Amino acid sequence: MIAICLAIFLVVFSLIVYSTIKFRKKADDNQEPPQIYGSNQVELAWTVIPILIVVVLFLAAARVIHAVEDAQFPPNTIEVTATGHQFWWEFQYPASAQIRCPGRSDSTSPCITTANELHVPVGAPTHIVLLSADTDHSFWVPQLAGKIDLIPNRRNEMWIEPHDVGHYVGQCAQYCGTQHAKMLLNVMVDTPEDFQKWVQQQEAPAMVSDQVAAGRKVFETNACMNCHTIGTIAQGRFGPDLTHLMSRTTIAAGAAPNTQENLTLWVKTPDAIKPGCLMPAMQLDDQDVTALVAYLMSLH
């Protein structure tokens, strides 16, 4: 396809350059050139050939479209539902062949709910259902697949089948508001073993430790729990699920690495990292912030 375009370019460009050079008006020549009005044969030639090229391109494209959009999925496909939010990604994994959901009584709710970092096993297809909670977004990890939009009140879907283990970066590709630029995607393609380890970690209940009880109390008594879920302690849906926050390498949808310093800055002044994001500054005093961050950092 690129080859055809390049070929067309070289042919036509050479013709332009050639005619510019060969048919320059000489300084002393004041006679008009032969006044040619056209040529039906030439017109036919350069109509028919482009039509043929276009037909070939269409057939090639149609084949790929069909292969991608109408693909059938084998039983070992991982299912993920991605919901776009302003300005973060929610990922939910329902129960499937590779995700067992031990101890889960409610079969309708997803096994795993996480945010911003997607883990998939290498070598198996992952089928991603795309929804949106607010406005339009687009899921684009260039090295894994083309992009498909997440549109409210519409169910879209796509699939990926990575061949190499690694960390793939992408980001939202449909303007969704102020912080569209910092709505990054981090896709971790794991070996099957690493993937199972990650699944087990995600399915584990939230860590409860007395050492960070003060921080947990800060979380519970402030408005944090209105937006964020942590295990069964809090059930907020507007912000990312924090149950296994420390399993992620970044915070704020890739806006900053997941470190104590950044978590502290984020909780105190989200606008310092992501100006215009929807997380409010919670107006906590420094002592509360320190305790809270200690609690957050316990959420493995």
End-to-end alpha-carbon separation of the chain, Å? 48
Q: Does 36 bind other proteins (CB under 8 A)?
A: yes
Phi, psi of 187 (to 5 degrees): -105, 120
Q: Which of 119, 180, 244, 268 binds other proteins (CB under 8 A)?
A: 180
Q: Does 2 bind other proteins (CB under 8 A)?
A: yes
Q: Which of 113, 179, 202, 264 binds other proteins (CB under 8 A)?
A: 179
Residue 114 vs 174, nearer CB to other proteins: 174
Least distance (Å) from other proteins to the CB of residue 164? 17
Collect all residues with Cβ–Cβ distance below 8 Å to 103 and sequence separation of at least 6. Answer: none
Residue 39 vs 232, nearer CB to other proteins: 39
CA dist., res. 87 & res. 44, Å (int): 54
Q: Does 65 bind other proteins (CB under 8 A)?
A: yes
Least distance (Å) from other proteins to the CB of residue 131? 11
Q: Are 159 and 125 in contact (CB under 8 A)?
A: yes
Residue 174 vs 229, nearer CB to other proteins: 174
Site residues for other proteins, window 68-107 (CB under 8 A)?
Answer: 68-70, 86
Q: Which of 57, 97, 272, 281 binds other proteins (CB under 8 A)?
A: 57
Least distance (Å) from other proteins to the CB of residue 268? 19
Collect all residues with Cβ–Cβ distance below 8 Å to 157 and sequence separation of at least 6. Answer: 127, 128, 129, 130, 148
Q: Does 20 bind other proteins (CB under 8 A)?
A: yes
Q: Are 291 and 220 in contact (CB under 8 A)?
A: no
* H or E segment to which residue 200 belongs: helix 192-203
Site residues for other proteins, window 276-295 (CB under 8 A)?
Answer: 276
Q: Which of 190, 171, 194, 197 is nearest to 250 (CA)?
A: 171
Site residues for other proteins, window 235-254 (CB under 8 A)?
Answer: none
* H or E segment to which residue 202 belongs: helix 192-203
Q: Which of 175, 209, 272, 281 binds other proteins (CB under 8 A)?
A: 175
Least distance (Å) from other proteins to the CB of residue 83? 13
Least distance (Å) from other proteins to the CB of residue 264? 20
Q: Which of 94, 125, 177, 236 binds other proteins (CB under 8 A)?
A: 177
Q: Does 275 bind other proteins (CB under 8 A)?
A: yes
Site residues for other proteins, window 140-169 (CB under 8 A)?
Answer: 140, 142-143, 145-149, 151-154, 156-157, 169
Collect all residues with Cβ–Cβ distance below 8 Å to 168 and sequence separation of at least 6. Answer: 141, 143, 144, 162, 186, 187, 188, 189
Residue 8 vs 213, nearer CB to other proteins: 8
Least distance (Å) from other proteins to the CB of residue 232? 29
Collect all residues with Cβ–Cβ distance below 8 Å to 297 and sequence separation of at least 6. Answer: 246, 260, 263
Site residues for other proteins, window 109-138 (CB under 8 A)?
Answer: 130, 134-136, 138
Q: Are 284 and 230 in contact (CB under 8 A)?
A: no
What is the DSSP pairing of strand 126-132 with strand 78-85? Answer: parallel
How many chain residues bind other proteins (CB under 8 A)? 78
Peptide bond into 87 cis (omega under 30): yes
Q: Does 62 bind other proteins (CB under 8 A)?
A: yes
